[in-house]
Structure 1
Amino acid sequence: MEKEINKNTSDYEEEEILNEEDNATGVWKVITIIESANLDIFLDENNTLQVLLDQSTGKIVELDSDTFKNWVLYQCYEHDKKPPGTESIIKAVKIIDTKTRLKTKNTKKLYVRVAEEGSGVFWYDLGRKAVRYDKNGWAIKDAPVLFRRFNTQKPQVEPLQGKGLDDFIRLINLSSRDDEILLKTFIVSAFIPDFPHPILVLHGQQGSSKSTTSRFLKEIIDPSTLKTRSIAGKQQDFTIAMASNWAMFYDNITNLTVEQSDQLCRSSTGEGVGQRKLYTDKEEVVFNFKNILGLNGVNCVANKPDLLDRSVIIKLSRIPESLRKTEKEIESTFEKMKPYILGECFDIASEAIKIEPSIKLKKYPRMADFAQWGFAINEVIKTGGEAFLQAYENNILTQNEKAVEVNPVAVAVMNLIKSDKVGEITGSPEYIYKKLISNAKQYDLDYMRDKYWPKNSSWLVRKMEEIIPNLEKLGISVSHYKQGGKRWVNIADKTRAKVDINSFTGGSLLVKDGWMDADFINEEIRNSYYEFDNEKEFVTDEINVDEIQF
């Protein structure tokens, strides 16, 4: 309804009323033009409205994006031969947003590069077409699923039947047969989505082609104009990058903060990452990533136990000068083999999809799904599932060693228990803390300057909790418990042979640091002899075995 303009209305107020009417007309014109285009507008898995702009290319944009608003601007110009006001477009988009949310039941999931359509049916986005692969093989087709496509993404080359994976592995100067098995498995498994993939950690001296290897892996799995990148410091930047890539490879990393390690862990295993849509928006969007991730550096940059548990560590050897080639030569060789690498990956993936459901492992490591798929993949390529499991187990042992090497508490515990004559120590957290520091001084190690070293005994148990699984793999057990109203910590070297106290017929048994070297000593004996003085040192150094009643 038009607003009435009376004789008492000022010229300024009259102009405002007419502008409101013109604006309203402009908004409805824009809405009419948008709706007449019969666009597919739907809600994605994050409750964000998306628009399928072009059926032929599968181009999808957010309704509230600059890209869509620019498209609207052009459509209006084509219709009226003059552009609408910016405010009219903003209001029109807002009205369509509200109207669609209230009325639509049209929801669709969007994918980045790789998708699972149903049980055992997968799609890989080439750009315009896609590869469909299942247990019966693979073919290039139009995909029924919708892929997000971003400006940084590149179309993938069409795969060709043939062999290329072994040729690619020969381009890389790997240090061991185990590393060859694990790298092949990592590459092929990257085409199987929706399970936690391990983070690939490449390390080696300068000149070992860490950066080149990372770039090639990105080109095989998820080509982009940005082949490698630096790791983001801010959570928002990290989340945006993860949401717009299937595979991410971080180059020349020297150090990871605790926050960055946690971000990588969460993005590898599919734990939720929450983020506001806008700084001023109270609504939070939760992303559940299970991305393909890789890191490289001169040293093994994974330094937190949780990150190491989720990693595959591969060492690259320095390439001798006599075998080096120019970047142009290597790139040319790689580009020629890339279609065949892809073709072979889809061949292997198809066969692995066929046999994976029937595989049951005797035991599963931390990254259980990767072990399951890795077994299937290596059965297909004739390496053998058991050979893969052995290579992976060896790698896990390396992970544990690395976790201990970079953790000052773990190093201190290892040095203390290995230097102990009996190989088992029990005491209060305060006592163990003092022993660790005292032992460190004997080895000229200054743990107190390390930022990961607990500042007091109260934090010691918490820090020990982080590395208990890694120490256990190396034969060192660490436990803590309450008894008699006090807290106790026990450290034991399980690789040492135990001496059965029942084999003694007399004499005395040395008690080292307040703990007899025997799990079999009953609680009564422990309660009788383990008493602290005011200095929290054990009063009794020797126990006469003849006095002990068995």
Structure 2
Amino acid sequence: MEKELNSLETREDIESEKQAAQELIDSRNETIRKRNEEISKEEQDDSESIDEDIEELFLDSDGVAYATIRINNHTENWPIRSRQFNNYVVKQIYENLGKPPTKERVNSLISIFSAKAMYDGIREEVYLRSARIDNVIYIDIVDDKWSCIRIDKDSINLINNPPVKFRRYNHMKPLIFDLDADIKDIDLLWKYIPVKEESDKIILRPHISLLLISDIPYAIWIIYGDQGSGKSMAKKLIRLCVDPSSLKILSFPKDRIELVQQVSHHYLAFYDNVTNLSKTYSDFFCRVVTGEGFTKRELFSDDDDIIYNYLRRVGFNGINLAGQEPDFLDRSVITHLKRIKKEHRRTERQIYSDFEKDRPKITGAIFKIIQKTLGIVDEVESEIKFLPRMADYAIWCESASRILGEKPKVYLNKYFNKIESLNKEAIEANPIALCILDLINDCNEWTGTPSQLLDELGQRAFTLNVNIKQPMWPKAPNKLTQRINEIKTNLEDEDIEVDTSHDGKKRVITIRKGTVSTVSSLEKAQEVEISGGEGLKTANDNFHNAKKEIDMPLNELTVLTASNDKKDSIVRKEFPIVKHRKNTIANDINNSFLNDGKGDYN
């Protein structure tokens, strides 16, 4: 009996303990529930308080969540996951609570705003430094009020609360400008950039003036020259006028992902001391200046990508050319600077001190040139029939050149000449191209398999002292076809045709001297207007006259050119055809215009 009573008491004690434990758990759960309700209410209060100053939550074109927030009397745009927006949330909560918020509380609110942007917001374009919308240019001057310059064909104005959304990075600095500057103030640059040749200035004035036209593919600006030629200083000063930054010029990073991010954060990406870019990096920058995108993994633990989709302005400095890939050179404008003489050298302090006085006028001149160019670019585009690869760039620069006082087509002709010289650079830098030129010098036509061609070119490489161990030399016949395709257009410009076919058993490559591309070259000459007295003629007249005589033997070509005498007589000239240089005809025609016709060219 006593044993049973003890067992009963034990069970009662256990039940009592279990009940006490459950009460303790329920009490703690209730405390947690109430605390969560308080936190939820506080978070809701925080969200509502912050919402009052958030004008819009949205996604950019790449799906990144943004917030447009009102601060004082202006609005700012920040990625919701950025440090700037995080600091904004912390500040708002602190002002609401009177004490610093926990990290969890801040992260929770940021997640809420990110979700709202993703599911309730719309997609909008976000710009860096410059935007063109409906033929109006907006330029972020990076001041504390988030003001911008608005340029249309009729006016230039400084406005607050612009209708476009810009984003900023910490390195960006304000633009300094004088809206009363004159267009010709752009030439103040030559006090600091030692460009001596007028033909180079004709190319560079439009290039520099239109860097803020953000929505067209833009030529890569390569400056090369000896040490002490002012290469780096030239790029630093241009950046001050167009896209000021605490990083005046960039160093080339070793990591490609870092490079992608670097270019994404800089509207004007100018790199110092770069030579011999690999094919991979040459292709990368070709994509940068034409507006193609890149991706990188957001976290190693997930499959989400960060998308970098941008169109940037790029430049390089170096003792030698930054790159030698044909596609890269085809998208480039090259300036060669000579070493500055000792008696003309100045300290950086002197240069910057003098430049700061001229800088507002130079930037103001850039704005004026953009304004005037907007008014004529459509008309100029309708006039031009023959364009280079960078067609949009060429049209805009030709338009700006006219605004700067050049006669129609002068810029285009200078630009075509630059392209031809770059083609020579591409040929001379490519071992396969050099060997093919040597091969075709000895025969009008060669036909064989890729393996036979690789052997033939290898023998000629030995004769020409070409290193076949370099990376550009193909190690196998199947790579040879790929290498030839990369330089095919350059060879065509040298009047060499390359055809690849299959006879049912094997691949066959045929290389031949092409028929001199007279018409193609004369199309260039057609673009140059020549004027003078009663004998006014245009290159278009001579283009058609020359075409009539193209059927004559190719060892010489008779071309009718305009003279400048009062009787409007036609002068008959004979020009030898130089081997493999189809542009010879165009050059001789242009020279005949200048020398015989006394044409007003420059």
Question: Secondary structure in 1 aligned to 2:499?
Answer: strand
Deviations 1:447-485 (A, max 9, x none): 2x1111100212111110001111221222222222354
Please give the alpha-carbon distance, in whole angstroms, between the structure 2 residues aligned to 1:454 and 1:19.
Answer: 71
How big is the shift at 1:433? 1.0
Please give the alpha-carbon distance, in whole angstroms, between the structure 2 residues aligned to 1:466 and 1:54.
Answer: 52
Match of 2:155 in 1: 137
Match of 2:521 in 1: none
Change (3 A) 1:408 1:16: farther
How big is the shift at 1:410? 1.4
Change (3 A) 1:13 1:235: farther
Deviations 1:487-514 (A, max 9, x none): 22122244889999xxxxxxxxxxxxxx
Please give the alpha-carbon distance, in whole angstroms, between the structure 1 residues aligned to 2:204 and 2:28.
Answer: 71
Q: 354, 361, 366: which is aligned to 1:340?
A: 361
Counterpart code for 1:253: V
Match of 2:21 in 1: 8
More displaced, 41-50 or 364-373?
A: 41-50
Q: Is the aligned partner of 1:53 residue 2:69?
A: yes
Q: Does the CA-based 8 Å contact 2:224-2:319 persist in structure 1?
A: yes
Q: Does the CA-based 8 Å contact 2:177-2:361 persist in structure 1?
A: no
Match of 2:252 in 1: 231
Superposed counterparts of 1:338-377, under 5 Å: 338-359=359-380, 360=382, 361-377=384-400
How big is the shift at 1:73? 2.1
Change (3 A) 1:260 1:36: same
More displaced, 400-409 or 217-226?
A: 400-409
Q: Does the CA-based 8 Å contact 1:23-1:88 persist in structure 2?
A: no
Superposed counterparts of 1:23-42, under 5 Å: 23=36, 25-37=38-50, 38=52, 39-40=54-55, 41-42=57-58
Q: Does the CA-based 8 Å contact 1:27-1:89 persist in structure 2?
A: no
Match of 2:35 in 1: 22
Deviations 1:225-269 (A, max 9, x none): 001111233333223222222111001113323322222111100
Q: 325, 344, 362: which is aligned to 1:323?
A: 344
Match of 1:148 in 2: 167
Deviations 1:421-461 (A, max 9, x none): x33222221211111111122233332x1111100212111
Q: CA RMSD in A?
A: 2.5
Gaps of 5+ in 1: 501-550
Superposed counterparts of 1:211-230, under 5 Å: 211-230=232-251
Q: 88, 92, 97: which is aligned to 1:80?
A: 97
Gaps of 5+ in 2: 1-17, 518-550, 554-602
Q: If the length of structure 2 is used for normalisation, what is the TM-score?
A: 0.77
Q: 209, 212, 215: which is aligned to 1:188?
A: 209
Please give the alpha-carbon distance, in whole angstroms, between the structure 2 residues aligned to 1:475 and 1:459.
Answer: 23
Please give the alpha-carbon distance, in whole angstroms, between the structure 1 residues aligned to 2:499 and 2:29.
Answer: 77
Match of 1:492 in 2: 512
Q: Does the CA-based 8 Å contact 1:185-1:377 persist in structure 2?
A: yes
Change (3 A) 1:158 1:444: closer
Match of 1:390 in 2: 413
Q: Is the aligned partner of 1:467 residue 2:487?
A: yes
How big is the shift at 1:412? 1.9
Match of 1:540 in 2: none
Q: Among all aligned residue pairs of Structure 1 and Structure 2, give the percentage whose two residues are the same amino acid.
A: 30
Match of 1:169 in 2: 190
Question: Secondary structure in 1 aligned to 2:229?
Answer: coil
Q: 423, 429, 434: which is aligned to 1:411?
A: 434
Deviations 1:51-85 (A, max 9, x none): 22344454322212333223222222222222232
How big is the shift at 1:270? 0.8
Please give the alpha-carbon distance, in whole angstroms, between the structure 2 residues aligned to 1:86 and 1:174.
Answer: 56
Superposed counterparts of 1:188-267, under 5 Å: 188-267=209-288
Match of 1:123 in 2: 138
Q: Is the aligned partner of 1:481 residue 2:501?
A: yes
More helix, by proportion: 2
Counterpart code for 2:509: V
Match of 2:422 in 1: 399
Please give the alpha-carbon distance, in whole angstroms, between the structure 2 residues aligned to 1:54 and 1:105.
Answer: 17
Q: If the length of structure 1 is used for normalisation, what is the TM-score?
A: 0.83
More displaced, 155-164 or 54-63?
A: 54-63
Change (3 A) 1:121 1:424: same
Please give the alpha-carbon distance, in whole angstroms, between the structure 2 residues aligned to 1:165 and 1:206.
Answer: 26
Please give the alpha-carbon distance, in whole angstroms, between the structure 2 residues aligned to 1:340 and 1:85.
Answer: 50
Q: Does the CA-based 8 Å contact 2:275-2:323 persist in structure 1?
A: no
Q: 108, 113, 116: which is aligned to 2:124?
A: 108
Match of 2:546 in 1: none
